[in-house]
């Protein structure tokens, strides 16, 4: 939690319980009762025990992530929590009274009666505290989600515009069209298929800005079209391998992410190797993650970070869509292979 949030929390704690104590003093004076030492002792005890047990209650709420639950799921937990907190508060007050030998209206009664009286009295303060605390964070969470949504939309539009530009730039189009032209007389059937593949890629690029996620299967099909076109150009210099767990095909991923990573593998890897190389796509489940790995022959020279799908932007986009556990990493392995890894948690994916 940020330092400012912690500071405001304690200000609210002391301020809130202080206002409650002031209210009790005014209440006492209203009925022409004297504000005696005993009254101040009771108020001090109420403030001390109230701050203690509500702070512990806050720690429980945070530890078990109750603030992340829906209202329907959290209400029963809060009700049980309030009852437990009121009982604990009563025990703290009884223990403090006995330890310091403080005289109160309840001190002459038996233990169970005192505990019930304190517990019922505590409901008047613990219930408002819980409602204020929960709904404050509920509103803050809603505001944060709206802010994250706006950030995501802005980031997605920026990335997708760059991605679309990369796919329709003259270099890519001319290479694809030249490859197709060479096939028209030699292999008309393959030329027609290549035109369809190019059409699929361009259509997918234009539709990407309308979607936050697509299924891995749909993205993989576009990538296969792209690699099929590139194979016409590179011929035997480009070898392609797939290691796909079929259970991952329905998993959602950001649109054009796999396509762009594969394109980077071709552009910065295979095209710079005289003898060509391998592009391997692996999709599997690793623990609670959907793991995507794109490997290509070549060396990591930092060029990918300058592209439209840089390391920081990819990681940021993943975390906005799938939470902080999502990750993206790229590294060089074995001295001649670049490996890009995407981790998407499956436990929060719908």
**Are residue 208 and residue 341 in the same domain, yes or no?**
yes
* Whole-number pLDDT of residue 291: 95
Q: Quick one: which of 323, 309, 314 has its CA closest to 342?
A: 314
Q: State yes or no: pLDDT of 117 exceeds 50.
A: yes
The last residue of a domain, from among 83, 113, 146: 146
Q: Rounded CA gap, 247 and 20, in Å? A: 58
Q: Rounded CA gap, 252 and 153, in Å? A: 17
**Are residue 215 and residue 320 in the same domain, yes or no?**
yes
Per-residue pLDDT reduced to its tens digit, 137-171: 888 877 877 777 777 677 666 665 455 444 444 55
Work out the average pLDDT over 48-52.
90
**Are residue 108 and residue 251 in the same domain, yes or no?**
no
Mean pLDDT of the chain: 80
Q: Quick one: which of 293, 236, 306 has its CA closest to 267?
A: 306
Q: Rounded CA gap, 42 and 47, in Å? A: 9
Q: Rounded CA gap, 31 and 146, in Å? A: 49
Per-residue pLDDT reduced to its tens digit, 216-230: 998 898 888 888 888
Whether the model clears a pTM of 0.75, i.e. scores above it, the answer is no
Q: State yes or no: pLDDT of 28 exceeds 90.
A: no
Q: Rounded CA gap, 23 and 276, in Å? A: 80
CATH code for the domain in which residue 294 is found: 3.30.565.10
Per-residue pLDDT reduced to its tens digit, 54-74: 999 999 998 888 887 888 888
**Are residue 234 and residue 317 in the same domain, yes or no?**
yes
Whether 350 is in a domain gets the answer no
**Are residue 56 and residue 202 in the same domain, yes or no?**
no
Q: Rounded CA gap, 43 and 93, in Å? A: 11
Q: Which two tokens stand for residue 9?
A: 């929390």
Parent domain of 94: 3-146
Contacts of 65 (CB under 8 A, 6+ apart): none
* Whole-number pLDDT of residue 349: 41
- DSSP for 212-265, please give it: S-EEHHHHHHHHHHHHHHHHHHHGGGEEEEEEE-GGGTT-EE-TTHHHHHHHHH
Q: Are 88 and 50 in contact (CB under 8 A)?
A: no
Q: Are 263 and 226 in contact (CB under 8 A)?
A: yes
**Are residue 194 and residue 330 in the same domain, yes or no?**
yes
Q: Rounded CA gap, 236 and 275, in Å? A: 9
**Are residue 138 and residue 257 in the same domain, yes or no?**
no
Higher-pLDDT residue of 330 and 40 is 330
**% of the chain beyond a pLDDT of 70:** 81
User: Which residue reads 């906005």 in tokens?
Assistant: 320
**Are residue 209 and residue 315 in the same domain, yes or no?**
yes
* Whole-number pLDDT of residue 171: 57
Per-residue pLDDT reduced to its tens digit, 71-108: 888 889 999 999 999 999 989 888 887 787 766 555 55
- Give the total number of structural domains in the chain: 2
């Amino acid at each position: 939690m940020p330092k400012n949030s912690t500071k405001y929390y304690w200000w609210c704690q002391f301020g809130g319980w202080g206002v409650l104590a002031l209210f009790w003093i005014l209440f006492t004076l209203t009925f022409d009762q004297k504000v005696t030492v005993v009254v101040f002792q009771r108020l001090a005890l109420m403030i001390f025990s109230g701050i203690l047990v509500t702070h512990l209650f806050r720690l429980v709420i945070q530890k078990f992530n109750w603030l992340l639950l829906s209202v329907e799921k959290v209400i029963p937990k809060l009700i049980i929590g309030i009852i437990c907190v009121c009982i604990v508060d009563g025990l703290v007050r009884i223990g403090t009274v006995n330890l310091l030998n403080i005289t109160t209206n309840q001190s002459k009664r038996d233990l169970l009666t005192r505990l019930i009286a304190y517990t019922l009295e505590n409901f008047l303060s613990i219930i408002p505290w819980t409602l204020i605390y929960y709904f404050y964070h509920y509103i803050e969470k809603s505001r944060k989600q709206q802010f994250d949504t706006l950030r995501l939309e802005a980031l997605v539009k920026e990335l997708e515009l760059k991605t679309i530009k990369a796919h329709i730039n003259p270099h890519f189009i001319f290479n694809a069209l030249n490859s197709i032209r060479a096939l028209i007389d030699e292999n008309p059937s393959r030329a027609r298929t290549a035109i369809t593949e190019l059409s699929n890629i361009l259509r997918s690029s234009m539709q990407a800005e309308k979607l936050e996620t697509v299924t891995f299967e749909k993205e993989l099909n576009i990538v296969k079209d792209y690699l099929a076109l590139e194979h016409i150009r590179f011929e035997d210099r480009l070898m392609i391998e797939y290691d796909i767990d079929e259970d991952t095909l329905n998993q959602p991923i950001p649109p054009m992410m796999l396509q762009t990573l594969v394109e980077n593998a071709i552009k910065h890897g295979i095209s710079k190797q005289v003898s060509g190389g391998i592009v391997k796509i692996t999709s599997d489940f690793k623990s609670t993650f959907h793991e995507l790995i794109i490997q290509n022959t070549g060396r990591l020279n930092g060029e990918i970070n300058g592209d439209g799908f840089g390391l920081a932007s990819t990681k940021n986009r993943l975390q906005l869509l799938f939470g902080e556990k999502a990750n993206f990493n790229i590294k060089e392995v074995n001295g001649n292979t670049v490996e890009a890894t995407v981790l998407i948690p499956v436990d929060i994916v719908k």
